[in-house]
Amino acid sequence: MTLLLLIEQGLNGLQLGVMLFLMAAGLTLVFGIMDMINLAHGSFYMVGAYLTATFAPVFDSFALAVLAALPLAALVGMAVEVVALRTLYRREHLDQVLATFGLILFFNELVRIVWGPQPIFLQPPSWLAGTVEIIPGVPYPAFRLAIIAVGLAVAVFLYLLITRTRTGMLIRAGASNREMLGALGVDVKRLYTLVFGLGAALAALAGAMAGPVLAVQVGMGESVLILTFVVIVIGGLGSVRGALVGALLVGMVDTLARALLPTVLRTMMPPSQADGMGASLASMTIYILMAAVLAWKPRGLFPAHA
């Protein structure tokens, strides 16, 4: 493998990492503040992708389609929180898992009814359809660079929101002691709803940015949800900083393992066997990484409550 190809795969890993961060940030906020395990988080990822694919031809602009999809996805998330999840906060985590798994089935069938079972192929905006030569000899898709930029911008936004604003102060207080926060006159239910809407919007943004890279299809949120939970466990439950670090680690390890392991194994065995074994081992690397991190730090790298 040449150095230029290694650089390209590193950028792919960074792009996957920031995509996972967009998913993990919202999910870890919901868990950290509400103590809610939300398996349906991937459904908002799917809804964001479908709404963007719907609005893109209407506005003839990918950016405007994303801007229209995000508030709608946030409203869908807030409606789900009020109608279906609000009664589950005091319940066992198993009850939350079963209820939100039911929401996955509901959203999958609803999307199939509204948009049909066939995948939708979303085109990137024309001004991001080409490539950018980052260093001589390494052209890289401009849209993937835009995904990286958006993810890093969201990371900065969340940092400023949580650490520099009154809303962020309430979010941190709610994560630490929700009973005391309510006793001080804060409407905790409304705070929960707003945070859940923010998490849904972040997942929808991830889905919207993934649409031109992957096919927009029913159930597309399930596979990325598994990686998202791995990210949260590695980074630490309830920690946005941990979500960012964990997402970048998972993205880089997963991408580089899929690129490097078959090449390394070809030096030891026939190519057909090396490719099959390399793919199998590569799919295991992020779980090996998770096990290693938990053996070192059982609460993750940056737990919200040490």
Do residues 33 and 192 make contact, with C-beta atoms less than 8 angstroms apart?
yes
What is the H or E stretch that residue 134 is in? strand 131-135
Question: Which burial class, exposed, middle or buried, applies to 204 when counting CB atoms under 10 A from its CB (0-12, 13-18, 19+)?
Answer: buried
Q: What is the pLDDT of residues 75-101, one digit of tens each?
A: 999 999 999 888 888 888 889 999 999
Q: Where are the alpha helices (DSSP H) in the chain?
A: 3-34, 41-59, 62-80, 93-115, 142-164, 166-176, 178-183, 188-210, 220-235, 240-265, 271-296
d(CA 166, CA 118): 44
Q: What is the DSSP letter of 305?
A: -
Whose CA is closest to 70, among 189, 237, 172, 198?
198
In this predicted structure, the answer to whether residue 138 has a pLDDT above a threshold of 80 is no
71 vs 130, higher pLDDT: 71
Q: What is the pLDDT of residues 141-155, one digit of tens each?
A: 999 999 999 999 999
d(CA 172, CA 301): 19
Per the prediction, the chain carries an average pLDDT of: 89
Q: What is the pLDDT of residues 244-278, one digit of tens each?
A: 999 999 999 999 888 888 888 888 888 878 888 88
In this predicted structure, the answer to whether residue 15 has a pLDDT above a threshold of 90 is yes
- Buried b vs exposed e over 220-255: b needs ≥16 C-beta within 10 Å? bbeebbebbbbbbbbbbbbbbbbbbbbbbbbbbbbb
- The pLDDT > 90 percentage for the chain reads 52
Per-residue pLDDT band for 1 (boundaries 50, 70, 90) equals: low
209 vs 136, higher pLDDT: 209
d(CA 121, CA 60): 15
Range in 121-130, 174-183, 193-202, 275-284 with the lowest mean pLDDT: 174-183
Per-residue pLDDT band for 52 (boundaries 50, 70, 90) equals: very high
- List the end-to-end C-alpha distance of the chain, in Å, as a whole number: 42
> Is residue 6 left, alpha or beta, with left meaning phi > 0 and alpha meaning psi from -120 to 50?
alpha
Q: What is the pLDDT of residues 197-232, one digit of tens each?
A: 999 999 999 999 999 998 899 999 988 999 999 999
Domain positions in the chain are 3-219
In this predicted structure, the answer to whether residue 299 has a pLDDT above a threshold of 80 is yes
Per-residue pLDDT band for 305 (boundaries 50, 70, 90) equals: low
Q: Look at residue 82 in the predicted model and tell me its pLDDT.
A: 92
Structure tokens belonging to residue 54: 């719907």
Structure tokens belonging to residue 72: 């709608």
